[in-house]
Amino acid sequence: MTTTTFRIGGDLSVRRLGFGAMRLPAGPGPARETSLQVARRAVELGVTLIDTAHMYGWGANEELLAEALHPYADGLLIATKVGIVRSEGPEGWRHDARPDALRGQVEDALRRLRVERIELLQLHRIDPRTPLAEQLGALRELQEEGKVGRIGLSEVTVDELARAREIVDVAGVQNRYSLFDREHEPVLAACEAAGIAFLPWRPVAGGAPTAELDAVAAELGATPAQVSLAWLLDRSPVVLPIPGTGRIGHLEENVAAAGLELTPAQRERLDGIDRLPGQA
């Protein structure tokens, strides 16, 4: 039977199926009210891991979650990410993981989330212009000061993870990964071997479902998206999917996926889906 909880860093227990807050509109108006309702409903449904980032609305997403959920329920983990700042360039953002920049973003996150300590702080991207030891050293100092509980990484390779682990204890890795997108399979394997939480973002890849996925969904009386999430939970005990949505109905559908149990035969059939639809 699939385990339902995981201890991040070996001591912080969360339910494995989390919630990604990126898609929650944080601007004024009816959409914001819906976002508040979605965040609150996630906690009502038993979600104990919510993921946000400085980049999501440049702090507005963090403020939204605090408005919706503070004071936080016991056992609720709100993880955030730093290391990306707004830019005038075409992408609208750039790397900035210089120690002073990271410290400033962490201080801002503490204020916005209304907490004294961020239990899981993730480096959103490694800054190619700043030595890795300086980036992670700054996070380690914040950890030593009690402002950060555990350190995580995002979008890293196996080699980058290994280098980072020589500098700090890495509690989590957040990479893109799904049934249809397994580019980071080696990173997942490294995390599993080390007992590191692996938080796949974009856990339900876009594109038309395959006939095999549709068939398994029909057998289970579930949606293809639910089966995709169930496959992730079945894939490894260190996998903590963080599907995101701005709709309560979709949220409830996602959370219900934690109750699905794949048979060995179904798992084997899904394992055989190893590329995005339409790809060679």
Kindly state the tokens that stand for 51.
């993921």
Residue 197 is inside which H or E element, if any?
strand 197-198
Of the residues 8, 15, 54, 56, only one is catalytic, namely: 56
DSSP-assigned states of every residue in 220-279: HT--HHHHHHHHHHHH-TTB----B-S-HHHHHHHHHGGG----HHHHHHHHT--S-TT-
Residue 251 dihedral angles phi and psi, to the nearest 5°: -60, -50
d(CA 225, CA 243) in angstroms, rounded, equals 10
3-state secondary structure (DSSP) of residue 185: helix
* Residue 56 known to be catalytic: yes
N-term to C-term CA, the chain: 34
Which amino acid is residue 233, in one-letter code?
L
For strands 84-86 and 93-95, give the pairing: antiparallel
Q: Which residues are catalytic?
A: 56
